[in-house]
Structure 1
């Protein structure tokens, strides 16, 4: 989960967090459209999963949380 410069939160899935974070902050082609106008973004929360399927399921669950629930997870 990323925290954007406007304090919004962005959730996604990747196999290479360092590369993806760099793309979000520097690349206008590979970075998510959402984060392009909200730079810089910082890593706020990370979970590791054994496979992409479980990571995508968890991403979906995280996106359904309220902002306050996401912030509580980040701060735990």
Structure 2
């Protein structure tokens, strides 16, 4: 069984990058060393791994990555900080 990973990097401009990979160590090396010049993180190095989750189903990992990418900064930070109880409230839309 091959594991897949959803991960969040904190970039040097204080932004977050969310990705999915089957080889987390290799992918982090690529981000840190600027292997792909057109990637989001290339101009935002150094990067720091702040969160990752393991999946046994790559399809679920991809769905989760896409979901997290749509989240607000506050919701991503709650996930990063293991504040899972905050996630539901951060999902609610605020109406004016």
Q: Please, what TM-score do these two structures have when normalized by structure 2?
A: 0.73
4+ residue segments displaced more than 3 Å:
none
Give the aligned length.
75
For 1:23, which of 10, 30, 33 is the aligned residue? Answer: 30
5+ residue gaps, structure 2: 1-7, 83-96
Higher strand share: 2
Task: Pick one of 6, 14, 19 that aligns with 2:13.
Answer: 6
Please tell me whether the aligned partners of residues 49 and 55 of structure 1 are also in contact (alpha carbons under 8 angstroms): yes
Q: Structure 1 unaligned runs (5+)?
A: none
Separation in 2 of the partners of 1:68 and 1:34? 20
The aligned counterpart of 1:62 is 68
User: Which SS does the other structure have where 1:23 is aligned?
Assistant: helix
**Structure with greater helix percent:** 1
The residue matched to 1:5 in structure 2 has which SS? coil
Shift of 1:25: 1.0
